[in-house]
Amino acid sequence: MEPTTEVVTAAPAPVLAAFIDRYVGYRLAGFAPGLHRGLPSRHMTFIVAIGPTIDVVTQTDPRQAPDSYRCVLSGLQASPAMIAHTGFQEGIAIELTPLGSRVLFGMPAGELWDVSIECTDAQRILGDQLADAVQSHPDWPGRFAACDRALLAAARTDSLAGPELTWAWRTLVGTGGSCEITPLAERIGWSRQHLTRKFTAEFGASPKLAARIIRFERARRMLAATPSFVSIAQIAATCGYYDQAHLDRDFAELAGCSPTTWLTEEEVPSVQDPDTADTRG
């Protein structure tokens, strides 16, 4: 059987767009069984499985035991998870920003830092509705509409991170992680230490670590999408690294491997990089 990749993206309902960037539906079939890396990202991990469960064999925190999930929810992370697959994967990745954790789950994203749980453990009704409703629809439009209905019913838009932290997070994302932290704090009217305390409590990562994760994700996406004649050193410079060695060190810490190793081992397209796969819809 020839490997096939289907990736379909859709925007969420307008009310959800402030904290969900998009839905990514994926179906990968015919690949050899193996492992792939779930990498640090500016999004929380929020994936609804269709068919086989999501089998995490190495958690981002090694103290957490391996587990299988119908609808996996994780906070931000600074290390990779290893996910086993049989060669077939299908589901919907909900690109949830940490600004949406309070809205959907009534808790700051910091409470889910570096941990994976079944969505029902955070919000039982939402977890059950997502898993059941998505499974019951045969087509992507129906599945995305089911996500909208379940998430809209759960959303509490009066439960938000403060305006200062919201602005700080969006500024870090908007600058690709290149914003200096001290000027960021000064724009808010806080000290750097106060911003670091409040930001870490809300999101789990300090502003400096969040900036590293955001910059790493930008570099990773560019590596996956850029022609081979563009060097890793050029990508490093574009993303704000001092040099290629700086990028290599961040990859070693955040991905657990070098950029070249990651590029050569990713035989199964990553749903974290839907723009690099065969996208329809």
Mean pLDDT over the full length of the chain: 92
Task: Lay out the sheet containing 34-38: strands in order across.
Answer: 34-38, 81-85, 54-58, 67-69
Strand partners, 69: 54
Residue in the structure block whose two tokens are 């870090």: 172
Domains of the chain: 4-158 (2.60.120.10), 163-265 (1.10.10.60)
For the full predicted model, state whether its pTM sits above 0.85: yes
Strand partners, 23: 10, 94
Q: Are strands 71-74 and 45-49 parallel, antiparallel or unpaired?
A: antiparallel
Residue in the structure block whose two tokens are 């039982």: 124
Q: What is the pLDDT of residue 226?
A: 84
Is the pLDDT assigned to residue 139 strictly greater than 70? yes
CB atoms within 10 A of CB 56: 22
Tokens of 279: 């996208």
Q: What is the pLDDT of residue 67?
A: 98
Is the pLDDT assigned to residue 276 strictly greater than 50? no
**Cα torsion at 81, 84, 85, 89 (round to 10°)?**
-30
Alpha helices in 87-231 (DSSP H): 101-105, 119-122, 124-136, 140-154, 163-174, 181-188, 192-203, 207-225
- Per-residue pLDDT reduced to its tens digit, 218-269: 999 999 888 888 899 999 999 999 999 999 999 999 999 999 999 887 656 6
* Total residues belonging to the chain: 281
Contact predicate 251/199, CB 8 Å:
no
